A = this chain, B = another copy of it.
């Protein structure tokens, strides 16, 4: 039976989701793709930490062990932060592995660099999970860019911020209380700074910019504001006026070619397409020349939505018959 070996880097919420989906869907993926996928190793930070059982899988805190497993061809990366994730992915690509990442902080900076490296090695990078969680905005953009050009992208790109704003309005929760709920539900990172400061949405907007416009605006020229200055009173006052706060990331290509981006809270009314986007949902609206405006809405975080699009990336790479070595 033709078999592929994969490794998972990072075994938090998303890493565990990938493992579970690959186990649950192994038979089905084998049937539909004609290849069996086996998780050979998982990279963790702390070997002593208790974790769900993964029979037959090498658990290691040393990346050299990962690269040494025989027949490794796919690396799923679900680590937080630029390093060591970037260094690991470079080494995996250099070894001829396809990589599938959920790491927006790293990818928003090394997007172009990693793509060039992957191209030179004839491997693919899947990065659907970096932006808008379970919402397939990357695949949709890639597809429509084959025929359309994009003028503007506007979205709710941070599920935690949207969850907090929703919870403040519907449950009368104070900001801190709503944030703690979001963390307990696994939506917010352990360090919530990136979420509530707007930086997380900014990273995702930069990834969308690189894809849609093949360039990114100068980082220091983008105004980034978070939701951390919005009080329960602000939210309630807006509600009385029939309005809702939404945290919106936006980028426009002006007719002269200049890119203009901003990230911050906006007040919207019932006819605004982002008014009804509630809870941990993300939404991305793309203005194109032929199709007009296309909007995608779905869960922007969570174990299974994020892990699911990473396994879809894997299926897409297989669909390309991307130079896998097949051992029968």
Given contacts A134-B292, A136-B143, contact A148 B308 (CB under 8 A): yes
Tell me the chain A residues, 250-280 only, with Cβ under 8 Å from chain B: 270-273, 275-276, 278
Are A143 and B139 in contact, CB atoms less than 8 angstroms apart? Answer: yes
A307 in contact (CB, < 8 A):
yes
A60 to chain B minimum Cβ distance, whole angstroms, is 27
What are 26 sample pairs from A and B whose C-beta atoms fall under 8 A apart? A21-B147, A29-B146, A29-B147, A134-B290, A134-B292, A139-B139, A139-B143, A140-B140, A144-B308, A146-B311, A147-B308, A147-B311, A148-B308, A270-B275, A289-B304, A290-B304, A291-B305, A292-B299, A292-B302, A292-B304, A292-B305, A293-B298, A294-B298, A295-B295, A295-B296, A297-B297
Report the separation of the CA atoms of residues A302 and B289 in the bound assembly, to the nearest whole angstrom: 13
A312 in contact (CB, < 8 A):
yes
Question: 1/0 per residue A141-161: CB within 8 Å of B?
Answer: 001101110000000000000
* Contact residues in B for A311 (Cβ distance below 8 Å): 146-147
Report the separation of the CA atoms of residues A29 and B21 in the bound assembly, to the nearest whole angstrom: 37
Q: Which residue of B lies closest to A296 (CB)?
A: B296
Given contacts A270-B270, A305-B292, contact A146 B32 (CB under 8 A): yes
A315 in contact (CB, < 8 A):
yes
A309 in contact (CB, < 8 A):
yes
* Contact residues in B for A273 (Cβ distance below 8 Å): 276, 297
Binding site for B on A (CB under 8 A): 21, 25, 29, 32, 134-136, 139-140, 143-144, 146-148, 270-273, 275-276, 278, 289-299, 302, 304-305, 307-309, 311-312, 315-316
* Contact residues in B for A309 (Cβ distance below 8 Å): 291
Are B298 and A295 in contact, CB atoms less than 8 angstroms apart? Answer: yes
Q: Which residue of B lies closest to A274 (CB)?
A: B276
Are B276 and A135 in contact, CB atoms less than 8 angstroms apart? Answer: no
Are B276 and A312 in contact, CB atoms less than 8 angstroms apart? Answer: no
* Contact residues in B for A290 (Cβ distance below 8 Å): 21, 134, 304-305, 307-308
| Residue with the highest number of chain B CB atoms closer than 10 Å, among A136, A290, A299, A311 | A290
Report the separation of the CA atoms of residues A316 and B290 in the bound assembly, to the nearest whole angstrom: 17
* Contact residues in B for A143 (Cβ distance below 8 Å): 136, 139, 312, 315-316
Closest 10 pairs (CB-CB, A-B): A290-B308, A134-B291, A294-B298, A295-B297, A146-B315, A290-B304, A292-B299, A291-B305, A147-B311, A270-B270
* Set B32, B147, B296, B302: member contacting A25, Cβ < 8 A: B147
Report the separation of the CA atoms of residues A293 and B291 in the bound assembly, to the nearest whole angstrom: 23
* Set B146, B293, B312: member contacting A146, Cβ < 8 A: B312
* Set B25, B32, B270, B292: member contacting A276, Cβ < 8 A: B270
